[in-house]
Structure 1
Amino acid sequence: MTNNSEPTRPHPTSPPGQPAPAETATRAPGPAAPADGAQPPQGPPAPDDESRTGGASGNPNPAEGRPPATDTHPNPHPPTGLQAHLVVDRPGFRLDVTLTAAPGDVLALLGPNGAGKTTALRALAGLTPLTDGHLRLDGTALEHTAPEARPVGVVFQDYLLFPHLSALDNVAFGPRCRGASKAEARAAAAAWLERMGLTPHAAAKPRRLSGGQAQRVALARALATRPRLLLLDEPLAALDARTRLEVRAQLRRHLAEFEAVSVLVTHDPLDAMVLADRLVVVEHGRVVQEGTPADIARHPRTDYIAQLVGLNLYRGQAAGHTVRLDAGPAITTTEKLSGPVFVAFPPSAVTLFRDRPSGASARNLWRCEVAGLETHGDQIRADLTGELPLAADLTTVAAAELDLHPGAPVWATVKATQTHAYPA
């Protein structure tokens, strides 16, 4: 992932001689505590009268000696959750994305390296200033609020636990910065460790923790301050495949219990599909598609998304059951459409033959050539070029029987019933 981080400043509330977890955003003054690793706020954030009070629009009434009258709030129930338009300009790159989420939602930012996911996360945390746009959380404007005064908790990819502190004291650090006594902070930390199933490891230093345990300590540290926005930057990337499966299930449960907004940044489609309620796919600093995991998996709109969800994707013009591709032959579909459309089908829908099949029931038939072969799970994935570039999955036995190898000519067929067409 592209990391455009600014230089890290020494953190004023770190334990003597130790750096704090880099750039952790924290909670504004109020009933809840700051995010982990943050200094206690030195004063209230810059006032934003219009968003915090509704604005005083009346005039004093000298006759009655009353204070200035105020209009009734136009919205007696101010918006909750996240409303953000993030614009960040850098040389050769511009991030311009809009994000909204209600309390309890888990929003996943998904995209290739360099798409702008990390920049968006840092902008939400206050670590990268906005060039333009706005950022509101529970109706309060935060775009000019310092990172340490934001009601935000962050779990970084490498967790950034204090190496010299126990798991208990790592989690207690945030509440201590907020002003809690040592006993209060440790009691709160103990409760969070119990909730994470880590009580037996409370006294362990980070080097004694497994990757999954360290991830849960970092999550507990972020949640111990009761943030209104939880940011997770590739939270499972540092785990091996076996641990990742277990921790993903645990993280899903903890996020489901979190009452505020969660934003997850990842390039792993499985993490996004399993953990998030809604996906926002970012490419080149722009949102290219958003929706539920099921909707995006069924209706990809870019090649990147199609590859993520494992589909062959094409764009063309539909006339009835025939779609003439923008670059390539026609595809017959079961849907009857008109105008610009996408057509998608899985690699498993492709059947390969070395000779042109006779009497095949498939309506779609193309002459191709094997460009490459690779193991894909328990199957072989063939990358095909020719009349229609596509990917095909087949068993190792079938690949051997067909004597597939780079350069081998093949015929590819796909039944119309296995395609899916939808408006572009």
Structure 2
Amino acid sequence: MTTPDPTPPAAADGAKRPPGPPAPDTAAGTGGAGAKHVPAVGRATPTHPHATDGLDAHLIVTRPAFHLDITLTAAPGEVVALLGPNGAGKTTALRALAGLTPLTAGHLRLDGEELDRTPPESRPVGVVFQDYLLFPHLTALDNVAFGPRCHGVPKAEARAQAAAWLDRMGLADHGGAKPRRLSGGQAQRVALARALATRPRLLLLDEPLAALDARTRLDVRSQLRRHLAEFEAVAVLVTHDPLDAMVLADRLIVIEHGSIVQQGAPADIARRPRTDYIAHLVGLNLYRGRAGTEAGGRLVRLDTGTAVATTEHLTGDVFVAFPPSAVTLFRERPAGASARNVWRCEVAGLEIHGDRIRADLTGELSLAADLTTVAAAELDLHPGTPVWATVKATQTHAYPA
């Protein structure tokens, strides 16, 4: 995206109707235009005051080498995260919601209003771009006031509203600073204030934390969670970071190759991934196979013929998963081991993974195993080392495919 021209109208600041001034703060953590107080420790429960309220979209975008076809619905007060690998269609979906990419087919309704053919500047949509796109020649105050000014709010009133939003973001002392003098976290909050100043009915966040360093990201993620908890309209977050998605969103929608492959509450998706991409994100070894009469239905036979013992009694097509930390490695086949799963493998690679060593294994079963640096040294592991991998059946989790 190129930096937008600072002349009205601006798609990034989106609301069609002129906003009134923000409600005064009565305590830290209150705010949002007309938003009720929500403690920072949790999110508001999405409400459904009217059947037509919220987002109802079927986004179809067809290009020569790509096809997006997804359905998105969200209630007011709900934060939905679009998660997926590069090229999955996340950004295309966000641009379609903003009106920056036209739909090939489908529909887009917000609070019952058809927006398919509504130009970006007339949509009640606020956008926080990945690189924020703050106007470099304007102060933080004037960046935030820009949206209301675009919609006819007098300059003094717009600046007063902007000052209130900056105060809510903890930036009351930075109103006179231009973007180059702001830290990454401060710039992110200014961009969020600019998007919220127009009281949008749909807030779009495109990788809002991607430009921040690790330490700043931790602090800003917590602040963003609080602001989203106070936002009573629909928020859609696009990210490739599973932690951002898990912390900020009420519901995850995972997109691969332009289609939805899984959606649900973050905890449900983390516990029951349905694709290799999701399993990798949440740190699980995942396999698909079939459970039958073997071992009372507690044995999953993979397509390769390898079997994985579980404790669940299932039949038919199933997934079976276990964390890398459940894997124990031996240089010789363990005698008398209590683990029911024992596979001959070979070390394909080693890498630092947090405070542990992650071994990438191939052989009877391809899997990842986590072990301490001491254990890795004692086993004298290196690429090509033959090992035996064991996993207790009680540490696996099987579920219907």
Equivalent positions of 1:74-93 (< 5 A) are 77-93=50-66
Q: Distance in 1 between matches of 2:14 and 2:218?
A: 30
Structure 2 counterpart of 1:294, one-letter code: A
Which position in structure 2 is the counterpart of 1:337? 314
Which position in structure 1 is the counterpart of 2:107? 134
Which position in structure 2 is the counterpart of 1:48? none
Deviation at 1:377, TM superposition (A): 0.1
Identity %: 80
Which position in structure 1 is the counterpart of 2:43? none
1:282 aligns with 2:255: yes
Q: Show CA shifts across 1:364-407 (max 9, x none).
A: 00000000000000000000000000000000000000000000
Q: Distance in 2 between matches of 1:89 and 1:235?
A: 26
Are the counterparts in 2 of residues 110 and 266 from structure 1 also a CA contact under 8 Å?
yes
Structure 2 counterpart of 1:112, one-letter code: P
Q: Distance in 2 between matches of 1:264 and 1:229?
A: 11
1:215 aligns with 2:192: no
Are the counterparts in 1 of residues 18 and 153 from structure 2 also a CA contact under 8 Å?
no
1:26 aligns with 2:14: yes
- Please point out which of 199, 204, 210 is paired with 1:237: 210
Q: Distance in 2 between matches of 1:192 and 1:31?
A: 13
Which position in structure 2 is the counterpart of 1:65? none
Q: Show CA shifts across 1:38-82 (max 9, x none).
A: xxxxxxxxxxxxxxxxxxxxxxxxxxxxxxxxxxxxxx9451000
1:291 aligns with 2:264: yes
1:13 aligns with 2:8: yes
- Please point out which of 292, 310, 326 is paired with 1:349: 326
Q: Unpaired runs of 5+ in structure 1?
A: 15-19, 34-75
Which position in structure 2 is the counterpart of 1:365? 342
SS at the partner of 2:342?
Answer: strand
Name which one, 1 or 2, has greater alpha-carbon Rg.
1
Deviation at 1:327, TM superposition (A): 2.6
1:408 aligns with 2:385: yes
Equivalent positions of 1:15-164 (< 5 A) are 23-24=11-12, 26-29=14-17, 77-164=50-137
1:375 aligns with 2:322: no
Deviation at 1:29, TM superposition (A): 3.6
Q: Distance in 2 between matches of 1:11 and 1:202?
A: 18
Q: Show CA shifts across 1:235-283 (max 9, x none).
A: 0000000000000000000000001000000000000000000000000
Structure 1 counterpart of 2:345, one-letter code: C
SS at the partner of 2:312?
Answer: strand
Q: Distance in 2 between matches of 1:290 and 1:380?
A: 31
Are the counterparts in 1 of residues 90 and 255 from structure 2 also a CA contact under 8 Å?
yes
Runs (4+) of structure 1 exceeding 3 A deviation are 7-12, 29-33
Equivalent positions of 1:311-330 (< 5 A) are 311-319=284-292, 320-330=297-307
Provide the aligned C-alpha RMSD in A: 1.6
Which position in structure 2 is the counterpart of 1:51? none
Q: Show CA shifts across 1:279-315 (max 9, x none).
A: 0000000000000000000000000000000000000
Which position in structure 2 is the counterpart of 1:168? 141
Structure 1 counterpart of 2:155, one-letter code: K
Structure 2 counterpart of 1:87, one-letter code: I
Q: 1:87 to 1:382 in 2, by over 3 A?
A: same
SS at the partner of 1:153?
Answer: strand
Deviation at 1:155, TM superposition (A): 0.1
Q: Distance in 1 between matches of 2:13 and 2:146?
A: 13
Which position in structure 1 is the counterpart of 2:155? 182
Q: Distance in 2 between matches of 1:115 and 1:252?
A: 25
Paired residues, number: 370
Q: Unpaired runs of 5+ in structure 2?
A: 22-48
Q: Distance in 1 between matches of 2:256 and 2:111?
A: 28
Q: Distance in 2 between matches of 1:327 and 1:82?
A: 44
Are the counterparts in 2 of residues 312 and 390 from structure 1 also a CA contact under 8 Å?
yes
